[in-house]
Structures are given as C-alpha cells and as structure tokens.
Amino acid sequence: VLELGGGMTCLAGLLIAKYTNASIICLTDGNVSSIENVQCIINKNGFSKSKVSCSLLQWGKGMYRPIYDIILAADCLFFDESRSNLVSTMWASLKGNGQALVTAPKRSNTLEKFKNEAEKIGFSCTLLEIYNQQIWNRHLTLKSESPNYDEDIHYPLLLHLMKPNFN
C-alpha cells in the first residue's frame, strides 16, 4: 500500500497498517516537516520498520516502480499545477490490476478534472457519492441544517481508479 500526500499524519495509511494484513505500507508526502512528523508517529507506535516506512515523495519527480497493489490519496486534488504529476505517479507506481482510492470534495471541478486526466492515461474510474451510509446520512443532515456547510468543499467523494493488466 502506498499513501500519497498523507500530510502531517498519513492517517489513512497508518490505519491500514494497524488494522489490516497489508504486508508493506509506504507513507509519503512532499513536505519534509510532514515526513519527520510521520516518522515520529511510526516510531512511537512501534510499527515494524519492515512493514511501515515513510519517505519524501514529490509527484512526477524521480523514478517509480510498479510495485503497489493499492494507492491511497485523501484531499490531494486542489492544486491544479500538480494534477498531472499525481496521475503519472499513480500510474507508474501501481501494478497491473492495481487500484487507487482517492477521496476529495468536488471543489470547483478539481475532482472531475483529475478523473478526466486519470481516464486519459488509461485508468478505469468509478466515482462514488454514497460509499458509507453513516457518512452519507451525516452529509444529508449537515446539508439541511447547517448554513455553513458547502458540499462542494466539505463532502468528500470516493474515486476508485483501476489500472489495467497488460500481461
């Protein structure tokens, strides 16, 4: 499992490490301070160094090997200038039949632009608005009761990307 753009905690990847049987989890972000913090979290929680690692990764820079079955990315689509690099990093890092799970709000069509770019490179994409009933119910409540709630920026959708197997 590879987490891209995990930020200061790489929470999604750490939950995978703690509660699944994934054999290798690599947590990444493009910010040095984030990676230093994530390394402290890994150390304090006693994760095996052979199972959980973290590293600085700037999308589109460097060489990537297609070794990952799953990629996670949460709320990473808001910078227009990094969209192509994120898509190409996902493509280069996933094995054939690999999957990427991306959560992000629509945020003025940034999610749609990312989806279009992912499809252009060859990913099969499925966009899910209702992926968890409890989260969906909370969304509906906030939408009807909170004047400050804006689903365009507050409600994350789930985008499932599948890389074809070329063998």
* Residues 7-39 pLDDT 10s: 999 999 999 999 999 999 999 999 999 999 999
CA gap 130, 140 in Å, rounded = 11
How would residue 155 be classed by pLDDT, with cut points 50, 70 and 90? very high
**pLDDT at residue number 70:** 98
All structural domains of the chain, each given as residue ranges with its CATH number in brackets, are 2-162 (3.40.50.150)
How would residue 167 be classed by pLDDT, with cut points 50, 70 and 90? low
Q: At what angle do helices 83-93 and 110-121 cross, to 10 degrees?
A: 40
**Beta carbons within 10 angstroms of residue 128's beta carbon:** 12
* Residues 78-134 pLDDT 10s: 888 899 999 999 999 999 999 999 999 999 999 999 999 999 999 999 999 999 999
> What are the DSSP calls for 81-132, one per residue?
GGHHHHHHHHHHHEEEEEEEEEEE--TTTHHHHHHHHHHHHT-EEEEES-S-
Give yes or no for residue 145 having a pLDDT over 70: yes
More confident of the two residues 61 and 113: 113
* Residues 106-121 pLDDT 10s: 999 999 999 999 999 9
